[in-house]
Structure 1
């Protein structure tokens, strides 16, 4: 008898539990049955009986648009003209009284798209499938259920009237672990969430999750109130449990009276989304006249402005025009987004008092983002004096306590009670943010080779830290180690320094060394050019940079320096930025922000990459860029300033980004331990900080022993005939590459420390890729394969530097050495050829090119003469093979060759697949309407495969 609960048993138990919660069980074997049930349920919900013709109109209405547009359709009403000519406003979901809907549960609905798929458990509300639950038996990785849903999205959710595109929430479970997430194709498994109780205790077991999350009223409330339609990216987002509890607490506080409150949610946990939703909920309250969302000018970037204006048109005025804010406050705009600077000006100047008379006694709710800002204290007093019915809520990841208060006032003094708490240890446990790997480098070499020693805290003086030799040493260290820290520039970094003068010295050191050919890093910077303050680095807190440089006294030398640095930026990116006035300065600031943020977009191009942003205070609070993973620190940081700065690096993004890297060129360890203790507890240091290098090395070497227990050597992988054995090998090797990914980011990493020789690793990797290709490429849609849903996490083993250009370099050397009179040289030639064959098997992005490169070696290199160049002959061969491949595709699909080549060029330029219309227009024989989708998808796949083979991973030939 099996010692685990089968998937079928898990499904049956869940249905029994849901039935007990009030879901009516219904059998819907196919989409015809689902449509008939939808007709009956919509009729029941709206109190009507729909005729055949009327329901046909409903299906036609529901069939329009993508997942995002269907989410809007779900929340709207359809104006249906009935058979007798009377109008009916058909409701699909009651979002106001969310418990007043019709609930059903069904299992094993079969849908045929590209393939026939059966879905495990479906929750229907008013007949529409709004929650889809995919189950795996106990012991199976939860990620396999996630990958299965992704496959269903590709293969069948869009088919047969596409009703499954109305799914709002997915739930995945193996009985022991259960997570939920919104219907968004663009998310990673790391963006799936456990539910939790209000004190952040996780609810992971399927039974308990069903009781609290899938309870009819709760799941309806989540769909109705707590799914956000993100207009900028056209995706659905759902709140995590701590975000839900925060909004509920604020909503309850406003309904109960006028007491203030604050939300302590750790930096990186999504406070902006929480505040969006809180504002949306509050403006629906008829007792609230206005909601004012207040940010610092440095945080009111393009994205925030765009998103809030989508949310409430005209709510954001991104300019510095205070009169526009006064007009909003005195007018009918219910939701206003403004900066703390403009709000302060509006209520401080006598000339605006008349225009604001009407709003002074209205009920205005203020939501302050990042309410730890130091200047907030004075503004707080002015708001309380000016607005007689002001109610204030603050969001912060790092509250001000008595221990870290600059003045006498704490967050509690300003906002009273903490309404909900979610600290960094909670976020790390939930895998919502990453841990930090912190290194301290206090000893750096002078030009003569001697060591500079920072005897902290005895030597903590400006002269030591600003010493040009020391700055040169830091820059040299960064140049030497930056690729390791950022996984060969896949990620960006920030370098924060103590003052503008130090920043200028750093930038000029980078520029000087780049001109000398010592590095190719792309470095940019920004700073305000006011006069020096007295020791701005002394307290270890992050100052609040004012972007309105027009209001500041100007240090002409600094302004000219910055303008020259921006000229470097313009030359690097072919832009025309300037910082000579506040408008240009703010525009440049926003462009830097977008350049870093846009790196995680699928269509991001390497030519737009920024490697290091050099700052004093800017971007160290409130700034969120997932592709930023490293912070170099040469400034004094303390308390909330330290946590805020470190937290720029720990946003979740895929498997490669395993931690936030912090490299301190000052001894900040006491400050780091003190800050962690203050914002979590004294036992949290081991939770928040990565273990030392030696710990991960031991774990890697233990994993090697496990791997060899399964397959003693790479060739023995061939003897793993059963899928169970192959799966065991895949999981063991995947554990190995995960650990290796962490190890290689440590500065002390040395391949000789590993109990697995590099060649053996590459050979095992080749076998790993063979299994991947067999299950994912040769039989990508075989539903019987138990390896089919396993994520091979190939991004962990891709080496972009090993490309076709690298292979050709090896072949050129081998060709020039093969006829040498020296036996050792001839042996070296053979070894390089063997290395080429090994790399063609072990590098994922070369495997699609393997057959062609082997053909070149065997058919072309063998007949080359000594005076021929391997690169020139190869280029001719490659161009001919590519032309032949294009001709074959065009002949097979009846495509006009010139149009197909234009599609290839457009794909390279935009990174986006060609539009359906472009492909149809390129066909020499126009297909029938019903045939178009299949042809378009097939041509797109062939185009992408052609580009992957002939253009990607080529390098500089």
Structure 2
């Protein structure tokens, strides 16, 4: 990841290394100006090379995540070997005197002791206020029934492990996760996302990009120990075989000297599972075989293959190909995946470890992802408050954590100003803009757009709260009607502005991405068509429901003509699913042939271009692919540019009409 950041700045600016031998070669090369390595490799290099010219040269050492392994013998050896150096450290969770570890060198316990005076502070509060990361929303789920006369800590002290590892508790937690997975990760909502992966072509690393439409986000499940990870993986596997839910679950762990957090630091797990006991290693091999079957890969726990498994798993997490990853400590620090929005926690976290783990969820992606979701199956509230105060400030909780359900639903006061809640906004909506009445005048339209946009943003947050179900106020059909009005105005303003931006002008901003996330899909429409068919085509109220659902969906509006024509020909002999597929295939071929003939396009190249567009989830309007399908046209007088633009407009309309149906 660090290498890629340097490459974005300047291709080839930095040199990475896969072994200490490569590192030694780079340090002996005067042309290697920036070298990216691990502290472990550098420590091995120093131990093997007591004398080396690099030690006397002016060197700048920059440590990322400098609250971690830099403390201790490795760090001491490094600064003892180099004679002419400057040293800098970066960390989001520095070690202060109040949270310093109790062991080790007393002169190297805090970050300032090791790296010198603090040069700059940019806290999580600053990052949230600047819009660089998201706040957190935390659920605390009680999983152990505690007698009233006993404190939580006393229960843990009596028989902590037995209580936490109880099979019934693990079963109930897995059941809870499966029941709430779609809600927490917003699986009913789709968005476009660019997947990235590297391919080694004859020694050259080639980065691939592919635009995809995906449903919702993915998650990590952090658990306390390897035995617990094994039990959870087995229980997920068992329950998934008995439910209709289709989740891709994976796990990874390796030996760490301490699986539980010590002094707030998450212990390092190495990428060599050799130190695992036979039972754990056999289990991990079995889990990796499940992964291989899922993705047609060939990994195991041997040294090189396990490292490649880690890399492949990391890539698939970032590309949202894994739904839930069970870990002990891996992936809880330094791993960034914008599609990750939920962290399930059955693990004691505190201080650095808590903030680091929570922060896996708060990377910005789009307007659908407005916060990081944390679901704790242990009581971490006090530790959360302490960690936020330590790494933000004592008043940071109101910024770092989202408000409560009641505050979002009923409203709250902030800085002397009352913020209306969801219930208030719905009441205002129904009073000012009753359904069935036209919204007349630009000012009223702008008022409606702003009001309904606020409601959409609040709904996006509230849908992650369990309490919201059944308290939506608006019935589904009423919400669809308001959405339809909202989309009508969006398209009117968009047409008037002759633009394609979701911010139409300075004072009107449409939450189209949030509309997309609560809309219905074609499967829902076909289900309604099947109900209409089963009513002997007599229940006309179903046709009204179909019409309202289509009008309320910005995606389905482009397919409205197709849907209406298909519904019009439904009769008792219709096989809805099969006949719909045939109907779409025939219409698609007819429409594409009309475009090819009308624009005099190259048939074979055009069909290949369209097939690739549906495969990639995007119709690329730049590059050589689009140029290949256009017939020869004189470039003089702008003829070719006009021809190309006309072709693009027709193909985009065709693509929107059939995307998601083929």
Sort the TM-score into its range (normalised by shorter chain): 0.7 to 0.9
Q: For each residue in 1:261-320, what CA deviation from the matched residue of structure 2 results, as whole angstroms up to 9, or x when unmatched? A: xxxxxxxxxxxxxxxxxxxxxxxxxxxxxxxxxxxxxxxxxx32344356473733331x
Check conservation: 1:782, 1:788, Cα contact below 8 A: no
- Distance in 2 between residues matched to 1:650 and 1:684, nearest whole Å: 16
The one of 487, 502, 509 equivalent to 1:769 is: 487
Match of 2:603 among 881, 897, 912: 897
- The Cα offsets for residues 412-446 of structure 1, whole Å up to 9 and x where unpaired, read as 1101211001111222222221111011012379x
SS at structure 2 position matched to 1:399: coil
Q: Give distance in 1, aligned partners of 2:488 and 2:519.
A: 21
* Rounded Cα–Cα distance in structure 2 between residues aligned with 1:648 and 1:454: 34
Find out whether 1:811 has 2:529 as its counterpart.
yes
User: Which SS does the other structure have where 2:322 is aligned?
Assistant: coil
Contact 2:284-2:301 within 8 A present in 1 as well: no
Question: Is 1:415 aligned to 2:115, yes or no?
Answer: yes
Q: 1:690 to 1:337 in 2, by over 3 A?
A: same
SS of the equivalent of 1:714 reads: coil
C-alpha deviation, 1:697, in angstroms: 0.9
Number of the residue aligned with 2:216: 490
- Indicate yes or no: 2:162 matched with 1:469: no
Matched, 1:749 2:448: no
CA distance in 2, matches of 1:806, 1:547: 45
Match of residue 457 from structure 1: 153
The alpha-carbon deviation at position 879 of structure 1 amounts to 2.4
- Contact 2:174 / 2:236 at 8 angstroms: preserved in 1? yes
2:565 is the alignment partner of 1:867: no
Contact 1:920 1:926 in 2 (8 A): no
Secondary structure at the counterpart of residue 459 of structure 1: helix
Q: How big is the shift at 1:507?
A: 0.7
Please tell me whether residue 636 in structure 1 is matched to residue 357 in structure 2. Answer: no
Alignment of 1:604-615 (within 5 A): 609-615=321-327
Answer yes or no: is 1:509 the counterpart of 2:235: yes
Which structure's relative contact order is higher, taking Cα pairs within 8 Å and 6+ residues apart?
2
How far does the alpha carbon of each residue in 1:226-248 deviate from its partner, in whole angstroms, 9 at most, with x for none?
xxxxxxxxxxxxxxxxxxxxxxx
What are the within-5 Å matches in structure 2 for residues 148-547 of structure 1?
303-308=1-6, 311=10, 313=12, 315-319=14-18, 321-332=19-30, 333-349=32-48, 352-354=49-51, 356=52, 358-374=53-69, 376-406=71-101, 407=103, 408=106, 409-443=109-143, 456-460=152-156, 461-488=160-187, 489-528=215-254, 530=255, 533=257, 536-537=260-261, 540-547=264-271
Give the Å deviation of 1:756: 2.9
Alignment gaps of 5+ in structure 2:
188-214, 411-420
TM-score normalised by structure 2 residue count? 0.87
Change (3 A) 1:799 1:360: closer
Give 1:694's match in structure 2, choosing from 378, 396, 406. Answer: 406
Residues in 1 aligned to 2:609 and 2:150: alpha-carbon distance in whole angstroms: 58
Distance 1:441 1:610, change over 3 A: same
Deviation at 1:776, TM superposition (A): 2.1
Q: Distance in 1 between matches of 2:611 and 2:290?
A: 30
Distance 1:625 1:453 in 2: 43
d(CA) in 2 for partners of 1:617, 1:525: 11
2:521 and 2:435 map into 1 onto residues whose CA distance is 24
Q: Do the aligned partners of 1:442 and 1:453 also contact (CA within 8 Å) in 2?
A: no
Q: Which residue of 1 aligns with 2:201?
A: none
**Displacement after TM superposition at 1:633 (Å):** 0.3
**Residue 436 of structure 2 corresponds to residue 715 of structure 1:** yes
Partner of 1:559: 281
> 1:642, CA displacement in angstroms?
0.5
Are residue 921 (structure 1) and residue 643 (structure 2) matched? no
Contact 1:540 1:636 in 2 (8 A): no
Aligned mates of 1:371, 1:436 — CA distance in 2: 24
2:436 is paired with a residue whose SS is helix
Question: 1:782, CA displacement in angstroms?
Answer: 10
Unaligned runs of 5+ in 1: 1-302, 600-608, 820-825
Aligned to 2:312: 591
Change (3 A) 1:873 1:362: closer
Counterpart position of 2:415: none
In structure 2, the residue matched to 1:879 is 585
Contact 1:741-1:796 at 8 Å conserved across structures: yes
SS of 2:466's partner is: coil
Q: Does the C-alpha gap of structure 1 residues 618 and 938 become closer, same or farther in structure 2, counting only changes over 3 Å?
A: farther
Q: Report the Cα offset of residue 536 of structure 1.
A: 3.0
Secondary structure of residue in 1 paired with 2:509: coil
* Distance in 1, Cα, partners of 2:500 & 2:23: 59
Matched with 1:179 is none
Could you tell me the TM-score, scaled by structure 1's length? 0.61
1:857 Cα deviation after fit: 2.2
Residues of 2 paired with 1:666 and 1:791: CA distance? 40
The aligned residue for residue 203 of structure 2 is none
What root-mean-square deviation, in Å, do the aligned CA atoms of Structure 1 and Structure 2 show? Answer: 2.7
Deviation at 1:920, TM superposition (A): 3.7
Q: Residue deviations 1:44-99, cap 9 Å, x none?
A: xxxxxxxxxxxxxxxxxxxxxxxxxxxxxxxxxxxxxxxxxxxxxxxxxxxxxxxx
